[in-house]
Amino acid sequence: MTAIGMVVGLVALWAGGASALSLARVRDLTLTDRLVADFASGAVVLAFVGTMAIVLGLQLSLGAIYLGLFLLIGSAFKWGRSGGAVVARERDPFALGILALVGMLLTAVGVATTSDRLWWDGWAIWALKARVLFLEGTLSPVFLDPAGPYVFTHLDYPLLVPLVDWWGFRHLGEVLPQAASFLGFFWFLLIPVLLWGALRDRLGERIAALAALAAAACWPIAFYATGGTADVVIALALLGAIVELDRAFGQEDRSALWRAGMFLALGAAAKNEGLALAVIGSCIALVAPGGIARASRLPALLLPLVVAAPWLLFTRAIGLESDVLVALPSVAEGGTRAWILAGALLRQFTGTPWQPLPILALLGVVAALRQSDRSLSVGWTVLTAYAIVLCGVYASAPQDLPWLISTTLPRVFGALAPATLFLALASGLPERRGQAAPDRP
């Protein structure tokens, strides 16, 4: 019964997201891309609806959300458009073998979530807020009080992850730490699926399968994902936004631009870093040269800000502020912190399992500079600007830097890895478009 409840909840979220994208007529055509974008979109819709309810002082109601969901699905059947049917293609047996390995690896990580494996922030922030939502139907006043006993839960953090965990708890009928772990794993599972879908047409099935395997075998991301933290959502949002921006600028595909906006909204609704990512991604996609007129890009690129605005305005209005951007350090202190951070990043990315990534990234950057591929340049610019902003936050935050590094660096910068992998491979390896049977009509 427990497993069935969780499956029903996930399918409902997926169906809601699929309907929203279908109604907006921006649903992707390949099965794997749909699986990821639909679920991400469903989570964004849930986050927006749930956050609005909390901001307006309403109780979260599963029945009301399901009513809205059925209306959404019905409207999508009547007015929506999902594009053409998926066309079967010949499979590469070698790639299938690698994908089987990906499946085994993901199964092993998934099995691990059946035990109690929430990590610090999973207990203290994300799953705790989900528990409060489950028991109270909203965030009780102590969770909105900057002088209250629960300040350690980072009261200003956006609510997508707690709301998705709440959704899982409501479908199970109880608060289970394992369910929060499993939902973290589910976010992690979508990363190799998205990488496979993004690279298959471009580089062929073998490389795409190897990239999916590399992402699935990234234990640091899996560890914090199953620990219940929101960093895995940022990893997915960053990868999804960069993949869709590449399609939008490479193929002048407006629907891809909307999906990029949706992935940026996913980040903005999940974590404060995600809001920074959304602003960076939207600004760069707005000013980048490309075939889609700038004025017509604006609605898609404003989507993340529209999704993030209610919570952002509400929390600022009641005095909840981020604890990292409170004061700027002196130039000397900032320089010292930046030097320490550089050393920590060097140690992290020359340590297991990251060692090959910096060299891959370097080769990818060199290849991108030589090719001057416009669509990939947008992605590289977003990734670089986001990394610089993250470094700036570490250099300027008031917290003790060694503590900040030891508790956050692997997960915050680890979230850049899947997008870096995509960009490096797409930039450095020759395109094989047209060698496989296209599945886009």
Partner 1 sequence: MRLVERAMIALLGAWCVIGIAHTAQSLLGPAGWAAGRPGTDAGFVGMPLPGSTVVVAIGRLLEVTPDLEDPALVILPLEIGPSAVLYINYQLAHTRYPRRVDVVGASAPTPAVNPYSTIVVAEEVRLQAPWRMTATLAGFSVWERPSL
**Would you tell me which residues interact with partner 1 (CB under 8 A)?**
101, 105, 108-109, 111-112, 114-120, 123-124, 127-128, 131-132, 135-136, 140, 142, 149-150, 152, 177, 207, 210-211, 213-214, 216-219, 222-223, 227, 352-353, 355-357, 359-360, 363-364, 366-367, 424-425, 428-430
If the CB atoms of residues 307 and 415 are measured against partner 1, the closer one turns out to be 415
For 286, counting Cβ atoms within 10 Å of its Cβ (0-12 exposed, 13-18 middle, 19+ buried), the class is middle
For the record, the structure tokens of 161 come out as 């992850």
If the CB atoms of residues 12 and 127 are measured against partner 1, the closer one turns out to be 127
For the record, the structure tokens of 128 come out as 């705790």
- 157 closest CA partner among 314, 56, 317, 272: 272
For the record, the structure tokens of 166 come out as 């709440």
- 221 closest CA partner among 427, 361, 417: 417
Three-state SS at 181: helix
If the CB atoms of residues 80 and 192 are measured against partner 1, the closer one turns out to be 192
What are phi and psi for residue 101, nearest 5 degrees?
A: -65, -40
d(CA 299, CA 38) in angstroms, rounded, equals 20
If the CB atoms of residues 202 and 259 are measured against partner 1, the closer one turns out to be 202
If the CB atoms of residues 281 and 364 are measured against partner 1, the closer one turns out to be 364
DSSP secondary structure of 351-397: STTTTHHHHHHHHHHHHHHHHT-HHHHHHHHHHHHHHHHHHHHHHH-
d(CA 435, CA 411) in angstroms, rounded, equals 37
In angstroms, give the least distance from the CB of 279 to partner 1.
30
Sign of CA dihedral 113, 114, 115, 118: positive
If the CB atoms of residues 57 and 430 are measured against partner 1, the closer one turns out to be 430
In angstroms, give the least distance from the CB of 374 to partner 1.
21
d(CA 292, CA 338) in angstroms, rounded, equals 38
If the CB atoms of residues 25 and 206 are measured against partner 1, the closer one turns out to be 206
Terminal CA-CA length for the chain: 41
In angstroms, give the least distance from the CB of 123 to partner 1.
5
- 380 closest CA partner among 431, 430, 423, 425: 423
In angstroms, give the least distance from the CB of 376 to partner 1.
15
In angstroms, give the least distance from the CB of 271 to partner 1.
18
If the CB atoms of residues 128 and 404 are measured against partner 1, the closer one turns out to be 128
In angstroms, give the least distance from the CB of 217 to partner 1.
3
d(CA 386, CA 369) in angstroms, rounded, equals 19
In angstroms, give the least distance from the CB of 202 to partner 1.
14
For 350, counting Cβ atoms within 10 Å of its Cβ (0-12 exposed, 13-18 middle, 19+ buried), the class is exposed
In angstroms, give the least distance from the CB of 95 to partner 1.
13
If the CB atoms of residues 272 and 427 are measured against partner 1, the closer one turns out to be 427
In angstroms, give the least distance from the CB of 178 to partner 1.
10
In angstroms, give the least distance from the CB of 359 to partner 1.
6
If the CB atoms of residues 127 and 275 are measured against partner 1, the closer one turns out to be 127
Three-state SS at 124: helix
Q: Name the strand (E) or helix (H) holding 47.
A: helix 31-55
- 297 closest CA partner among 261, 243, 263, 266: 261
